[in-house]
């Protein structure tokens, strides 16, 4: 009999939490027991899973007793509070916040890129930032064949990056504007409907925002290469779900376009979408709900013989967050790195 696992989802009522539940069920993750955890304000809610409606419990000091795996997506402060307690209780935590990503003791894992890093955990594994995940899934297979010297990224980030409330706020703003009313911004600093603005995370002394520095620092850690030159400009755009990125890659030596397309067409987690005759390339509306990162419009950079341009779109909630976490959990199961028990899987 194969192992099954006692799983807790922290932040179960959020956009990523709900996606985690859908993926755990849809991918038949071997669950013996499932615990849904959230803040006090979510107590009393029930969420569907496996044909049942499971109660949401308030997270507390004893929430992680007899738990093998915690999938956390409740924000950095919650992760800093509860992840160490879960580890002390014997669980492995896969954390979706930024709390532990740059901790040298914590692996930062994208399964298509550095799956071997998951085995080096000390109780916590960090899920990278959404824009980083989408970019590295596409860039890594090219980098393995022809080392990348420099990455220039411009992101076009949807409302989903700020959660379910941000998505609803944008809908409300759009409705208000179309009705001739003034849009109200509460989640974001400015109205996002029919608008765009540079990413609203804090700025450093160099003028780079936190989101941009996440892409720089996390990519270097995931690739295990601190010498790659990376710069990014991150922008919020009025799209509900799925992020887009324009990427310029400078290689050591020229990479042929045909070879680049062949590499990407065979790369795990990537789908090549290119129809040059109809000018059809990846779009957020087509990436929404998809597991793969869509990539296309791959072309030679006319300003540099060793550079290529490409365009990608990926579902921020799915591959950019929940799916990556579940894939890490599947890696742990595959490598027998979770305790678990020889018990029947929850039906």
> Residue 200 burial (CB < 10 Å; 0-12/13-18/19+)?
middle
243 annotated active-site: yes
Distances in Å between the alpha carbon of 238 and those of 19, 44, 74, 233?
21, 33, 24, 16
* Token representation of residue 21: 């539940």
Bridge-based pairing of strands 124-126 and 92-95 is parallel
Q: Phi and psi dihedrals of 111, rounded to 5?
A: -55, -30
**Helix runs in 3-147, H state only:** 15-26, 76-88, 130-145
- Check 130, 199, 234, 313 and give the catalytic one: 130
130 annotated active-site: yes
Number of Cβ within a 10 Å radius of residue 179: 7
Q: Give CA torsion, residues 135, 223, 335, 22, to 10 deg.
A: -20
- Check 121, 234, 243, 313 and give the catalytic one: 243
CA 237-238-239 angle, 5° bins: 95
* Token representation of residue 23: 């993926």
Residue owning tokens 């990455």: 151
DSSP string, 63-128: TTTT-SEEEE-S-HHHHHHHHHHHHHTT-EEEE-SSSSTT-TTS-B--TTT-GGGGGG-SSEEEPP
Yes or no: say if 287 and 306 are a contact pair by the CB < 8 Å rule: no
From 324, 301, 309, 272, select the one nearest 125 (Cα to Cα).
324
Yes or no: say if 63 and 34 are a contact pair by the CB < 8 Å rule: no
Distance CA 286, CA 252 (A): 33
How far apart are the two ends of the chain, measured CA to CA in Å? 15
Q: Which residues are catalytic?
A: 130, 243
């Amino acid at each position: 009999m194969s192992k099954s696992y006692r799983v807790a989802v922290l932040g179960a009522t959020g956009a990523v939490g709900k996606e985690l539940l859908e993926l755990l069920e849809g991918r038949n993750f071997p669950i013996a027991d499932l615990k849904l955890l959230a803040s006090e304000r979510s107590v009393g809610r029930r969420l569907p899973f496996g044909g049942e409606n499971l109660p949401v419990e308030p997270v507390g000091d004893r929430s992680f007793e007899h738990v093998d795996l915690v999938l956390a997506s409740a924000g950095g402060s919650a992760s800093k509070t509860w992840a160490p307690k879960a580890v002390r209780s014997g669980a492995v935590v896969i954390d979706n916040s930024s709390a532990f990503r740059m901790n040298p003791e914590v692996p930062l894992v994208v399964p298509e890129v550095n799956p071997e890093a998951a085995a080096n955990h000390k109780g916590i594994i960090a899920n990278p930032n959404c824009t980083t995940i989408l970019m590295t899934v596409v860039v890594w297979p090219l980098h393995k064949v022809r080392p990348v010297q420099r990455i220039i990224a411009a992101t076009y980030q949807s409302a989903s990056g700020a959660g379910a409330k941000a998505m609803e706020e944008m809908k409300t703003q759009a409705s208000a504007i179309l009705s001739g009313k003034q849009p109200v911004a509460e989640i974001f600093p400015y109205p996002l409907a029919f608008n765009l603005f540079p990413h609203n995370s804090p700025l450093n002394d160099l003028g780079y925002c936190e989101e941009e520095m996440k892409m720089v620092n996390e990519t270097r850690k995931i690739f295990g290469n601190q010498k790659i030159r990376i710069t990014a400009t991150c922008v919020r755009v009025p799209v509900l779900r799925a992020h887009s990125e324009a990427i310029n890659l400078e290689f050591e030596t020229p990479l042929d376009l045909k070879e680049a397309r062949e590499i990407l067409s065979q790369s795990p987690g990537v789908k090549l979408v290119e129809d040059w005759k109809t000018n059809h390339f990846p779009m957020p509306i087509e990436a929404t709900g998809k597991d793969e990162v869509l990539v296309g419009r791959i072309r030679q950079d006319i300003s540099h013989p060793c550079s290529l341009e490409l365009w990608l779109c990926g579902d921020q909630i799915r591959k950019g967050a929940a799916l990556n976490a579940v894939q890490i959990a599947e890696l742990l199961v595959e490598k027998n790195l979770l305790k678990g028990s020889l018990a029947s899987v929850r039906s």
